[in-house]
Amino acid sequence: MHKIHCVAALAGSLAAGLVIAESAFAEALSAEAPVCAPGDGYQPVCGIAPPEDLELSPDGRHLFMSITPGLAGQQVSRLRVMDLHSQQVSDLDVAIEPAAGWGDGQCAAPTQAPGAHGIHLSRRADGRHQLLVVNHSGREAIEFIELEAADKGWTATWRGCVEQKGVGRFNDVAATPDGGFVATVMFESPSMAPPLPLEQLLDGRDTGYLMSWAPGRPLAKVEGSEAPFPNGVQVSADGRHAWFAAWTVGEIRQFDLQDKRTLAHIPVGYMVDNLSWGRDGRLLGAGIADVAAFQRCFASHVEHCPVGFKASALDTASGRHRVLFEAGEGVLAGASVAVEVAGQLYVGAYTGDRLLRVSEIRPED
């Protein structure tokens, strides 16, 4: 979770080490969720666990969701699915059936239901639908899950994995054309407890980097990719470039995976979290607008954090960045992802009880 994203995944583990500067902050806020009512240009879908990352199903009728614990630690990390017509949400149960060619053949099947942080949906070379899932539950790994259409939605089957044997903690993942992936590492730690106090983790210093894996090659750090809290990631269609969010400095960065160098630092004016591709090829992002508000809410476990957010689009060819939607406090507690669905935006969050449907995406001028 921003996930910090990690936010959500770390809510319990950071608490013990935090010094709460404003002890009355949580008490001054209502424990109840904000009113679930439409506003100018948006409609909330409420009463759901926080969907930190989102992927649109191949048939365009469902949203796959990664659920994080939230800032109050009220949820169990897992996969869920929303029927876009009925807006009903249900858990996506995952059957365990290993298959050759999905991940590292030496990676064992999970002993518990996988959690879910960053997720990425792609079509494999054989035409099958693959969902990559960052999993912190029971182990640190990228899980390979096959999605198949069914009479009433979709089924999910675990096929393989790549386990992290080092100390890098994943945040997000994106498939590459060679059957592998690129993942962001937000920081290094033997557990999900970060190695620095929260204020230092958020001050803009380099804390993480990219890692890559492909069939026949080990999981390895991508040299030269160090960045401040790497978050959401996407890969260009040709596999040459990774686009990723440097969350704590409010940037989207372009990294050349072949030459091992950063090509562009694009400031977006907010803490951009997860990334997705729009239908017109622009890179969509969403995130919170105020790091100080996040620090206060995280320290006091405020589930419905009063913080504004933005959603935006980046033309990766020209470098032009444009805000598509923004809102102040009380609309969405911890925006973390924007996904295009039939010309609208669905904006998810790492905490709270809702997502937003934004009525229209403005095309590039």
Q: Which residues of 89-117 are buried (b: 16+ CB within 10 A; e: fewer)?
A: beebebeeebeeebbbeebeebeebbbbb
Per-residue DSSP letter, 248:
G
Q: Using the Cα atoms of residue 125, residue 233, residue 94 and residue 90 in order, give the sign of their dihedral.
A: negative
CA 148 to chain centre: 22
pLDDT reported for residue 32: 80
Spatial distance between the Cα atoms of 204 and 265, rounded to a whole number of angstroms: 14
pLDDT reported for residue 12: 34
If 0-12 CB within 10 Å is exposed, 13-18 middle and 19+ buried, where does residue 47 land? exposed
Q: What is the CATH number of the domain that holds 116?
A: 2.120.10.30
State the number of CA atoms in the 13 A half-sphere of 188 facing the CB.
12
Sheet holding 309-314, edge to edge: 271-277, 283-288, 309-314, 321-327
DSSP output for 178-201: TS-EEEEEEEE-SSSS-SS-HHHH
Q: Which domain holds residue 268?
A: 6-358
* Structural domain count, the chain: 1
Does residue 85 lie in a domain region?
yes
Our separate counts of H helices and E strands in the chain read: 3, 25
Does residue 39 lie in a domain region?
yes
pLDDT reported for residue 278: 96
List of E strands, 4-118: 42-46, 51-56, 62-67, 78-83, 89-91, 94-96
Does residue 363 lie in a domain region?
no
Q: One-letter amino acid identity for 9? A: A
Angle at 130 between CA 125 and CA 136, to 5 degrees: 140
pLDDT reported for residue 9: 44
Instruction: At 12, give phi and psi (nearest 5°).
Output: -75, -40
Does residue 1 lie in a domain region?
no
Does residue 365 lie in a domain region?
no
pLDDT reported for residue 21: 34
Does residue 364 lie in a domain region?
no
pLDDT reported for residue 363: 65
- pTM assigned to the model: 0.93
Beta bridge partners of 144: 132, 160
* pLDDT, tens digit only, all 365 positions of the chain: 444 444 444 443 333 333 333 344 434 344 589 999 999 999 999 999 999 999 999 999 999 999 999 999 999 999 999 999 999 999 999 999 999 999 999 999 999 999 999 999 999 999 999 999 999 999 999 999 999 999 889 999 999 999 999 999 999 999 999 999 999 999 999 998 888 999 999 999 999 999 999 999 999 999 999 999 999 999 999 999 999 999 999 999 999 999 999 999 999 999 999 999 999 999 999 999 999 999 999 999 999 999 999 999 999 999 999 999 999 999 999 999 999 999 999 999 999 999 999 987 766 65
User: Distance of CA 66 to CAs 81, 89, 121, 184, 229, Å?
Assistant: 9, 12, 12, 16, 20
